[in-house]
Amino acid sequence: MSDLLAARSQMAMSLAFHIVFAVVGMGMPALMVIAEWRWYKKRDPVLLDLAKRWAKGTAILFAVGAVSGTVLSFELGLLWPTFMQHAGPVVSMPFSLEGFAFFTEAIFLGIYLYAWKRISAKAHVAAGVIVAISGALSGAFVVCANSWMNAPVGFTVTNGVVTDVRPMVAMFNPAAVAEVIHMMFAAYAATGIAVAGIHAYALLRGTLRPAFHRAAVQTALFVSVPAMLLQPLSGDFSTRDVAKRQPIKFAALDGHLHAGPAALVVGGWIDERNLTRKASIEIPGAISLLLKFDSKAIVPGLDSVPVADRPPAGIVHIAFQVMVACGLALATVGAWSAWRAWRRRRGSGVALPADRTYLKALVVTAPLGFIAIEAGWTVTEIGRQPWIVQDFLRTSDAVTPMPGLIVPFLGFTLLYIGLAIMVTYLLWMQILKTGITPLGGHQPPVVSETTEYNVRR
């Protein structure tokens, strides 16, 4: 493995790991605070218990998010010093703003998690709201930094030196709007559906506390469904944006190999060397029609640039299709949920625990949000290759001169695998405590919905 490949792999692995926790850090505070707010209004102890249970899981995930994020901040320098040397001053804005968002997030999360009894209920809900807002903001800021790599503006290069730096222009770069919106929806959709799926699983397996899990599914879907429904629209916006801004990335994600009218390509794989597609279903002209409202319109293809400037189209194309497939599946479940909710409100339809088909659908779609996120980032990042900063700096020119990078890559990979196993195990223990029938079939020692815990406030 070359050092460049090791560095790229380490970066990709660290980011793919961090994003899971980051997304949870954006989504879970919203879920917790909505549950707690509903409790505050209705005084139904089940809702308070829900907020507290979720808070415990979030505490574990947040800690891992914070440490893996710290690793990333250093890795930008450890792996890509040349990149940071040039890009640091330009993308300084989103990163320093993000720093303050982290501060407020961590401060108020500490209060939210540990001060249930120390501050008033109102102050507690307010702390939760601050966590939710600053979590969303930290996500938005860092995505602004990333979108700058896709659409670098706000500086001039004269004789190889970066001059005339305009940090605000860089932060609000042309790619920022589409990416931030898409990431926000992604975070709420993915967290919400994953949580709903876990609690739906409890209802399916049987639990002594159906009301608890039903409230959980409802609250999680309340956050997730709007995002799942809007995500394909936002994705369409992103796609058009990429087609304008990064035509070669677009060619890669669509599998559009030769400049000319572009077909909609579904399935199959791409032979990058010979520029051919295999085993794919194609609708000729469909992409040209979608993009330019003219099925004959010319769209740049992978062959529009020299080989050295092409991203690995095969991976990008597959990742894009995975994301879109997940997105369509999620939108379907979202529409189903909205329809169910509407029927229930009108007094017809089946109550949640009895509607087993629907519960099964929730369980099956539970991981799709996170799969779509990983796939989407693969499209964004690998689709940008060979550039680290589109059209300005090549990834291969940005890498550190430090040799033997495979060692830290393997080391961090092992470390993160260990963390992932441990986090999964701890979360599973927390979930079992909510009175789910464990896999062995023994009922956990839960007494009843009302006496199992005591509300101290």
Partner 1 sequence: MFGADELVFTLPHVVAGTMVLSITAYVLLAGADFGGGVWDLLARGARKAQQRKLIADAIGPVWEANHVWLILVVVMMFSCFPAAFAHFSTELHVPLTLMLVGVVLRGSAFTFRSYDVSGGANQARWGMVFSIASLMTPIILGVCIGTVAAGNIPMDVGTSRTFVERFVSPWITPFAFSVGALTLALFALLAATYLTIEARSADVREDFRKRALSAMVAVAVVAALTLFLAKRDAALVYHGLTSGWRALLLIGATAIFALIASVALLTRAFQIARVAVGALASFIVWGWAWSQYPFLMPPDRTIMSLAAPRATLMWTMSVLIVGTLILLPSFLYLFRVFKSVDRVDVPSDSPSSLDSTHS
Q: Using CB under 6 A, which of 225, 326, 363, 388 touches ligand HDD?
A: 326
How far is residue 390's CA from residue 377's CA, in Å, rounded to a whole number? 16
> Which distant-in-sequence residues (6+ apart) come within 8 Å of 374 by Cβ?
16, 19
As measured in angstroms, the least distance from the Cβ of 142 to ligand HDD is 11
The site partner of 306 among ligand HDD, partner 1, ligand HEM, none (C-beta below 5 to 8 Å per kind) is none
Rg of the Cα atoms in the chain: 24
Question: Which partner, ligand HDD, partner 1, ligand HEM, none, binds residue 142 by CB below 5 to 8 Å per kind?
Answer: ligand HEM
- Alpha-carbon dihedral angle through residues 318, 319, 325, 326, given to the nearest 10 degrees: 150
**CA 120 to chain CA centroid, nearest Å:** 33
The strand pair at 393-394 and 387-389 is best described as antiparallel
Piece of the chain touching ligand HEM by CB under 6 A; list 21-29, 245-253, 296-304, 359-367: 21-29
Report the C-alpha gap between 319 and 373 in whole angstroms: 10
In the list partner 1, ligand HEM, ligand HDD, none, the entry touching 111 (Cβ below 5 to 8 angstroms by class) is partner 1
Query: Residue 235 interacts with ligand HDD (CB under 6 A)?
Result: yes
Out of ligand HDD, ligand HEM, partner 1, none, what residue 152 binds, judged by CB under 5 to 8 A for its kind, is none
Q: Name the burial class of residue 279, with classes exposed (0-12), middle (13-18) and buried (19+) by CB atoms within 10 angstroms of its CB.
A: exposed
Please tell me whether residue 183 binds ligand HDD under the rule CB under 6 A. yes
By CB under 6 A, is residue 138 in contact with ligand HEM? yes
Contact letters for ligand HEM, residues 371-390 (x by CB under 6 A): ------xx--xx-xx--x--
**Binding partner of residue 8 among partner 1, ligand HDD, ligand HEM, none, CB under 5 to 8 Å per kind?**
ligand HEM
Long-range CB contact pairs, 105-113, < 8 A, 24+: 105/25, 105/131, 105/134, 105/135, 105/138, 106/66, 108/134, 109/29, 109/58, 109/59, 109/62, 112/29, 112/32, 112/55, 113/55, 113/58, 113/59
Residues 344 to 383 in contact with ligand HDD, rule: CB under 6 A: 369, 372-373, 376-377, 379-380, 383
Contact window for ligand HEM (CB under 6 A) among 47-55, 132-140, 360-368, 403-411: 132-140
Q: Are 210 and 353 in contact (CB under 8 A)?
A: yes
Stretch that binds ligand HEM, among 7-15, 206-214, 278-286, 287-295 (CB under 6 A): 7-15
Restricted to residues 176-195, the positions that interact with ligand HEM (CB under 6 A) are 183
Q: Which helix (H) or strand (E) holds 260?
A: strand 260-261
The one among 101, 223, 242, 359 contacting ligand HDD by CB under 6 A: 242
Tell me whether residue 46 or residue 389 sits nearer to ligand HEM (CB atom).
Answer: 389
377 vs 316: CA distance, rounded Å = 10
Residues within the interface to ligand HDD (CB under 6 A)? 143, 150, 175, 179, 182-183, 186, 189-190, 231-232, 235-236, 238-239, 242, 323-324, 326-328, 330, 369, 372-373, 376-377, 379-380, 383
